[in-house]
Chain A
Amino acid sequence: MSGSLVKRRPSWRRRLAENLVSPEIRGKMARISAELGELGVDPFGLDPEAVKFAAVPVEWLYRHYFRVETHGIDNVPQNGRVLLIANHSGQLPFDGMMIGASMIMERDPPRVLRSMVEKWVPRLPFVSVTMARIGQIVGTPDNCRRLLSREEAILVFPEGTRGISKTFDKAYQLERFGTGFMRLALETGTPIVPVAVVGAEEQAPSLYNVKPLAKLFGAPAFPITPTFPLLGPAGLLPLPTRYRIYYGEPMRFQGDGDEEDEVIERQVEDVRAAVQKLIERGLGERKGIFS
């Protein structure tokens, strides 16, 4: 319906891409609800067509590379605002990608998950466009508030770069959680679903974080892993560990978001404990890192 106003040139790339989209994904993407403007994108720049194409490599990673096992996805409500709060690990954010994928692969109708990306992401060429088209937004409180008022599902990693960049000796130990998400949840009356990802820690075990190099490249971390920088850029590829994603029961908190830090921190601690508990469950249930 919308989008037809723009006459795209039928390129060979597009035809190829169309053929790569699995019928299942194509059917599901036709059923997502998005408020599209006259030119086929939503006010934040999300393009369901782009999501469909991005789903091609992501589906492969989900099914065949990380062989993701998802538990309790029905804890995420089908409609209405919700905040998913997850642990963050693995040097590169494949965990966010797989959580987002699970909301499409394992649900029918699917839900497009938005995540709040770091403020430097929009500075990166190509990455900035890709992120915007698949619904990822700069993580400012205003953006989050606005999306929640539009009844969207938002993924937040309250550990931020502290979590994803941590070294392997701290695997599966949660870093300090930021408190911004809790204030927003209280202010907007949004339920919180705790999420744990098990398997991402081992995809790129960081032995040491060379901070001066990270600073030099403007990156959040410069990890030394068994494969990086030894194998060059190829060493950035994650190991094919098996992912397990656990969705906990929705949590609701009382308040208006303007409480003192102490009060908020206690509530954040409850969420952190819930995520930790899901991690423990996942670690207990798995038989091996790759199986």
Chain B
Amino acid sequence: MPSGEGRVKKSVILVTGAAGRLGRLMVQTAHRSGEVIAVDRRPIVGLPKDVTHLRTDVRWRQIEDVFRKHKVQAVLHLGLIHNPRAEDDQYRFNVLGTQHLLELVAKHKVPKFVMLSSANIYGPHPDNSHFLTEDAPLLGAEAFPNIRDLVAVDRIVQSFFYRHPEVETVMLRPVHIVGPRVKNAPSNYLRLERPWVVMGFDPMIQLVHEEDVVQALVLAMKPGAKGVFNVVGPGEAPLSRILMLLGRRPTSMPDFVVRAALDRAFKLRMTSFPAPEIRHIQYNCVVDGSLARRVLGFEPQYGLVETIRSVLGHSE
């Protein structure tokens, strides 16, 4: 009798990027219903005791052993680097890491693959339609090349979706995620006491609370759910109203001044906001979240004012 036969493989859920904020929240949520293996190169703070941490790079061979040893029920891929400086090997990490995971999912017949993309890949453009649907072209990298890896990853997952209909693939494209302890660019920007704004521009902004994103991911993990979905929070508001609600005193400067100053400051590492990102506070990138509402049954729990105020730190 060959060894290993008769042994029942344990069912597990694999979460990549488990050291990130959403990663930790999802590990906590998922481990209530089953066994979780958390994957991240970084150390994970506050990991529940019964969760295994596999400290590896998703591109390496080591990760395949998880698929051999266990019956992986689902892969939740949150391990994408969103670093505006695109340092080290971010492009390769994101693209090759995702590619490797998808190969393993197909090879080991994992029934579910869920990943978090971003609504930023549509990109803010002056001629954008209001409410971009999931079919809208992904033009985000046109003006901001540093997110071209995220566009590439999104495309890889889309093609996987069609090549492997046996896998329930879900890709969520949330709008700007904010929350009390979220440290991404939009949350950091809203925390500035005197944020810069572009004179004469006031785009509509969409935000979603991180806990609502967790809820959307939980819905995406449910059996039967598949597809690409925009995830939109409780509505949209002009940037100026959002800043007013937070009691900010914005400094208004013409387009070229903000751009030049930011460019200089970014090179001198005085700011983490790259100059091309000012398009986000200049033009609309408003997406349509109705598909997720209809198909996944996603309904944000946080109201607009609550979501905006969440960046201040005290959740209400």
Residues of A within 8 A of B (CB): 5-8, 37-41, 43-45, 119-120, 122-129, 132, 137-138, 140, 142-143, 146
CA distance A36 to B127 in the complex (A): 23
The answer to whether B129 and A125 touch across the interface, beta carbons within 8 angstroms, is no
Output the nearest chain A residue to B200 by Cβ-Cβ distance.
A125
CA distance A5 to B202 in the complex (A): 19
CA distance A120 to B234 in the complex (A): 29
- CB contacts under 8 Å to A, within B263-292, are 283-284, 286
Q: A38-B234, A128-B200 are in contact. List 4 more A-B contacts (CB 8 A).
A: A37-B304, A44-B130, A128-B202, A143-B129
- CB contacts under 8 Å to A, within B205-234, are 234
Output the nearest chain B residue to A8 by Cβ-Cβ distance.
B244
CA distance A137 to B284 in the complex (A): 11
The answer to whether A41 and B241 touch across the interface, beta carbons within 8 angstroms, is yes
CA distance A254 to B137 in the complex (A): 32
Output the nearest chain B residue to A126 by Cβ-Cβ distance.
B200
The answer to whether A38 and B127 touch across the interface, beta carbons within 8 angstroms, is no
Q: Closest approach, in angstroms, between the C-beta of A133 and any C-beta of chain B?
A: 8
Q: Is B128 an interface residue, CB under 8 A from the partner?
A: yes
Q: Is B86 an interface residue, CB under 8 A from the partner?
A: no
Q: Is B295 an interface residue, CB under 8 A from the partner?
A: no
Output the nearest chain B residue to A44 by Cβ-Cβ distance.
B130
**Contacting A128 at CB < 8 Å: which of B201, B235, B242, B303?**
B201
Output the nearest chain A residue to B245 by Cβ-Cβ distance.
A6
**Contacting A45 at CB < 8 Å: which of B126, B127, B238?**
B238
- When distances are taken between beta carbons in the complex, the residues of chain B under 8 Å from A120 are 126
- When distances are taken between beta carbons in the complex, the residues of chain A under 8 Å from B96 are none
What are 23 A-B pairs at a CB distance below 8 A? Answer: A6-B245, A37-B235, A37-B304, A38-B235, A38-B305, A39-B237, A39-B238, A39-B245, A41-B237, A43-B236, A119-B126, A119-B127, A124-B200, A125-B198, A125-B200, A128-B126, A128-B200, A128-B202, A132-B204, A138-B128, A143-B129, A146-B129, A146-B131
Output the nearest chain B residue to A125 by Cβ-Cβ distance.
B200
Chain A binding surface SS class? loop
Q: Is B297 an interface residue, CB under 8 A from the partner?
A: no
The answer to whether B236 and A37 touch across the interface, beta carbons within 8 angstroms, is yes
CA distance A6 to B204 in the complex (A): 16
- When distances are taken between beta carbons in the complex, the residues of chain B under 8 Å from A129 are 200-202
Q: Which 3 A-B pairs have the closest CB atoms?
A: A125-B200, A122-B126, A142-B129
Q: Is B199 an interface residue, CB under 8 A from the partner?
A: yes
Asked, given contacts A37-B304, A120-B126, whether A125 binds B254 with beta carbons under 8 Å apart, the answer is yes
- When distances are taken between beta carbons in the complex, the residues of chain B under 8 Å from A38 are 234-235, 237, 303-305
Q: Is B299 an interface residue, CB under 8 A from the partner?
A: no
CA distance A182 to B148 in the complex (A): 38
CA distance A137 to B234 in the complex (A): 22
CA distance A8 to B241 in the complex (A): 10
The answer to whether A137 and B304 touch across the interface, beta carbons within 8 angstroms, is no
Q: Is B255 an interface residue, CB under 8 A from the partner?
A: yes
- When distances are taken between beta carbons in the complex, the residues of chain B under 8 Å from A123 are 126
CA distance A214 to B289 in the complex (A): 40
**Contacting A122 at CB < 8 Å: which of B198, B234, B283?**
B283
- When distances are taken between beta carbons in the complex, the residues of chain B under 8 Å from A126 are 199-200
Output the nearest chain B residue to A38 by Cβ-Cβ distance.
B304
Output the nearest chain B residue to A139 by Cβ-Cβ distance.
B127
The answer to whether A45 and B204 touch across the interface, beta carbons within 8 angstroms, is yes
